[in-house]
Amino acid sequence: MSPHLLLVNPSAGGGRARKRLPEAQRALDARGIEHRVVLTKTLEHGCEEAHAAAAVGETVIVMSGDGLIGQIGGALAEGRGTLAILPGGRGNDLARVLGIPSEIDGAADVIASGGTREIDVGELNGKRFLCIASCGFDSDANRIANEARLVKGQIVYLYAALRALIEWSPARFTLTLDGERIEFTGYSVAAANSKAFGGGMFVAPDAELDDGQLDVVWITQVGKLRYLANLPKVFKGAHVENPEVVVRRAAEVRIEANRPFAVYADGDHLGDLPATLRVLPRALRVIAPA
C-alpha cells in the first residue's frame, strides 16, 4: 500500500479532530496503512503540504471538517493526487454524501479498501469547493454559525438560522444560468455540487457529485413564519416541493444581488458577490464507497 499523509486540522469540530488523532492513528496502523501526520496551521499550509505529498505519490488523508477538505480537494484536483477522508468537523457533509462512516474505524475501513471514484469540483471566482456555495440569507446564517462559541455541535446551524431570520430583509437577486438571465426577490441562492450542507441539510437532494452540473436552488419571497415552519423539511430534502423553492441545473452560474453578500462554500467564506461559479467535471479522485 502506498504511503499516506494524514493532514489534521487541530481546531476542527471545536478541537474534536485533535482529540481523535490517537484513535485515528491506531485505526490506520491496525489496517497496515503507512502514514505520517502533519497538523495544519492554515488552509494555505494544508494545501502546500497536500501538493508536496501528492508530488511524491502519497495519498492525502484529511481529518477535518468540510472547509479544509474542500480546499485540499481543490488543490488535488485535475490529476494532482488522491483524497481520503476521516470525518473530524461539525458537519461532515461531504463524507455523509459519499457514504463514508462518521466513526473512525468505519472511515479507516474505506481507506483500506482503496476504492476510488471521480467527483466534480466547483469553482467560485476561481476558488475551488466540493459541496455547496450559497449566499443571501445563508451568508448571514453561516457567519453567525462560525462566530458562535457557546453553542456546540450540529445544533449551531439551527441556532444560526433562527438568529439570521430575526434580522432578515428580502434581497433582489439576478442569476445567469448558462446564459439565461433570471431575476427574483427572496432569501437565498445555493449552487450545489453535492446534496447537503449545514450538518445534514439536504438543500439540493437530487444533486450528484459526478454529473458535470450544479443544482441551483433559490428561495423566493415568503413570510418569515412560513420560512421557519418549512425549515425542518430541509433535513429530508422535502422543501423542494414548496412553490417558493426553485431548482435548476447549469454548468455555469452568475450570481448578483442588490446589496453585498459573502458567499460561503464548504462552511467557509470563499468569496463575495458578484460571483461566477462553474464545474470541473470529475476532476478529483477520492477514496470512497462505490
C-alpha cell at 216: 441551483
Query: pLDDT of 198-257, one tens digit each?
Result: 888 999 999 999 999 999 999 999 999 999 999 899 999 999 999 999 999 999 999 999
> What residues contact residue 131 under an 8 Å CB cut-off, 6+ apart?
66, 70, 93, 94, 97, 192, 193, 194, 196, 197, 265, 266
- pLDDT for 18 equals 87
- pLDDT for 150 equals 60
CB atoms within 10 A of CB 289: 12
* Greater pLDDT, 273 or 167: 273
Q: Which part of the chain is CATH 3.40.50.10330?
A: 4-114
DSSP 235: G
What's the distance, Cα to Cα, between the start and end of the chain in Å?
19
Which segments of 114-265 does DSSP mark as H helices, in order? Answer: 137-147, 155-167, 224-230
Contact at 8 Å (CB) between 165 and 222? no
Q: By C-alpha distance, which of 244, 256, 243 is closest to 181?
A: 256
- Ranges 86-100, 155-169, 190-204: which has the least confidence: 155-169
Average pLDDT for residues 270-275, to the nearest whole number? 96
d(CA 53, CA 45): 12
DSSP 258: S
Catalytic (active-site) positions = 268
- Ranges 12-16, 88-92, 106-110, 154-158: which has the least confidence: 154-158
pLDDT higher than threshold 80 for residue 158: no
> What residues contact residue 48 under an 8 Å CB cut-off, 6+ apart?
none
Query: pLDDT of 29-80, one tens digit each?
Result: 999 999 999 999 998 999 999 999 999 999 999 999 899 999 999 999 998 8
Q: Which of left, alpha, beta for 40 (phi over 0: left; psi -120 to 50: alpha)?
A: beta
Q: What proportion of the chain, given as a percentage, has pLDDT over 70? A: 97
CATH 3.40.50.10330 fits 4-114, yes or no: yes
CATH number at 128-281: 2.60.200.40
Q: Which part of the chain is CATH 2.60.200.40?
A: 128-281
d(CA 12, CA 234): 24
d(CA 126, CA 270): 10
